[in-house]
Structure 1
Amino acid sequence: MAEITEDILTKVIKKRPSNSHKGNYGRVLLIGGSENYGGAIIMAAEAALNSGAGLISVATHAVNLDALHARNPEVMFIDWRDRNLVNLMKKMDVIVCGPGLGSGTFALQLMSTICQNISQNQILILDASALDMISQDAKLIPTQVGLVVITPHQMEWQRLSQIRISYQTDSANLDALKKIFPTQNAILVLKSNHTHVYTKSNQIFVNPIGNPGMATGGMGDTLAGIIGGFTAQFGDSLDSVLAAVFIHSLAGDKIAENNYVVRPTEISAMLPQLMSQYAN
């Protein structure tokens, strides 16, 4: 097992060349946000935006449009019932699915649509409700995909892996990751007070930073968005995922120096400043 260190940020985050445009930094589609959980997908989208993704679209329930554009007018919206969603999916570099999605019939249809249309040139990040649905139906796991990153907390991982929290050892987690994704390139980001990252090639990394002030609703949604933003612009490598995990906690620790509670939106707000620091 290796610790994730600050060096991962200088390795991954690069100064942008003058000759740049938004298409150079990746296209991200985030899918989620039912009637009652629009905040989750908005926080995930804000994290992808502030972590530097070039073009961001959100497929969500129509009730969330006004709140999304009031908060982040840079983010494009599509009604998740729009028949053009499939065509939009195919144009994306990264798809983040799960924050606030829910688990009803329509959510299952969306998961099935992703499974049928994603390609080996794309990255899929699965969080929250999406993980609960694949724990109930393995047919919702796509076989044709470039990289799958799953971001469960320990109870979600228990439902998906069938490993009780007290038995979630490194070896058990690695075995389960390989069993759930037998053919896919997959990374497990197992969220806890010290998040562990696992790969199918038996690599294990632990995040040594973070703080209890981050035990706040929306923190996982924000991490999923940062992973989306980092993999979109820096590539589908393990390093991109590790850098996203580390900078998420680093921002949280800086905020916690003067605050008892760390809000996920404050982490997102700090990302551009931190990225500029490490790019230089």
Structure 2
Amino acid sequence: MNITEDILTEVIKKRAADSHKGTYGRALLLGGNRQYGGAIIMSAESCLQSGAGLVTVVTDEKNHSALHARLPEAMVLNFREISLQKELLAKTDVILIGPGLGLEYESLALLSEILSKQKENQWLIIDGSAITLFANHTLALNYPEHTVFTPHQMEWQRLSGLPIAKQDDANNQIKQQALQATIVLKSHRTKIYDGKEIYHNTAGNPAMATGGMGDTLAGMIAGFLAQFEKNTETIAAAVYLHSKIADDLAVDNYVILPTNISHELPKYMKKYATERN
């Protein structure tokens, strides 16, 4: 199935007049160690700009000032505030873990805790470092049908055991069925495997080949799942819009920064919500 512009008017809805921030979902984002704070900040920015109602970021304390300066709309905790994390985890709608998280023991412990505490009504997105941690250790998914992995091809190699040269649709489907989770396999033409359908992204361009693009996509997926229907079509809409905005920007730009995409999100989402209605 090809993902085209039509999916945006199908998924993105006009906001109701009597809605409030709680209407658009709570997202909890965990990542950003002392080295890679920018990754989780980019995820948080795209999550907020795509419309999630309440966004909380759990990150290394070193990143708090930068996060507050760029995104005063986001709430922030440090990795050591365990009781507050548990309190927020219990009432969040969507969890994203992994952007800039790192591979330290503390990161593994945090991932294990999130996997064990995920509730049936919560969606979990596993990205970046968390994919490598999951692949390297004996971990289990609590609710695989509500879990999304967002690997690039090398991360998928670690997770699936498939060399990049053997990552065709047939082999990818077999590995997806073993995991039972949705796979967003990022490449020059991203594909989504959910066990029922293969979704082929028809947008995207080489100007997107820059660091942080995947972090931004993961945040968008979290933002979309927080507020719209929780299904593969909503994930596919986030994937397509991410690339669609980049395609439009690439007409006049040699390279597209991930934060440029985030900046454009509210305008594009308004357009497609208006067209739907």
Q: Same fold (TM over 0.5)?
A: yes
**Does 2:190 correspond to 1:195?**
yes
SS at match of 2:188: coil
Distance in 2, matches of 1:265 and 1:226, equals 12
Task: Name the aligned partner's letter for residue 101 of structure 2.
Answer: L
**Does 2:123 correspond to 1:95?**
no
Distance in 2, matches of 1:138 and 1:26, equals 31
Task: Name the aligned partner's letter for residue 253 of structure 1.
Answer: D
Q: How does 1:126-205 map to 2 (within 5 A)?
A: 126-139=126-139, 141-144=140-143, 147-181=146-180, 186-201=181-196, 203-205=197-199
Task: Name the aligned partner's letter for residue 72 of structure 1.
Answer: L
Task: Name the aligned partner's letter for residue 25 of structure 1.
Answer: Y
Q: 211, 222, 226: which one pairs with 1:232?
A: 226
The question of whether the paired residues in 2 share the 8 Å contact of 1:122 and 1:145 is answered with no
The question of whether the paired residues in 1 share the 8 Å contact of 2:134 and 2:159 is answered with yes
Aligned-pair CA distance for 1:87 = 1.7
**Does 2:53 correspond to 1:54?**
yes
Task: Name the aligned partner's letter for residue 129 of structure 1.
Answer: S
Question: Which position in structure 1 is the counterpart of 2:73?
Answer: 74
Task: Name the aligned partner's letter for residue 250 of structure 2.
Answer: A
TM-score, reference length from structure 1: 0.96
Cα RMSD for the two superposed structures: 0.9
How many pairs align?
273
Query: What 5-or-longer segments of structure 2 have no aligned partner?
Result: none
1:51-88 per-residue CA deviation (whole Å, 9 max, x = no partner) reads 00000000000000000010000000011111221221
Query: What 5-or-longer segments of structure 1 have no aligned partner?
Result: none
Distance in 1, matches of 2:179 and 2:193, equals 13
SS at match of 1:171: helix
The question of whether the paired residues in 2 share the 8 Å contact of 1:118 and 1:145 is answered with no
Which moves more between the two structures, 234-243 or 263-272? 234-243
Distance in 2, matches of 1:170 and 1:132, equals 22
The question of whether the paired residues in 1 share the 8 Å contact of 2:144 and 2:179 is answered with no
1:1-59 per-residue CA deviation (whole Å, 9 max, x = no partner) reads x1101010000001111101000000000000000000000000000000000000000
The question of whether the paired residues in 1 share the 8 Å contact of 2:149 and 2:184 is answered with yes
Question: Which position in structure 2 is the counterpart of 1:268?
Answer: 262
Task: Name the aligned partner's letter for residue 29 of structure 1.
Answer: L
Aligned-pair CA distance for 1:115 = 1.4
% same residue: 50
Aligned-pair CA distance for 1:138 = 3.4
SS at match of 1:45: helix
Distance in 2, matches of 1:12 and 1:171, equals 28
Distance in 2, matches of 1:169 and 1:210, equals 19
SS at match of 1:189: strand
Greater than 2 Å deviation, 4+ residue runs: none
Change (3 A) 1:146 1:178: closer
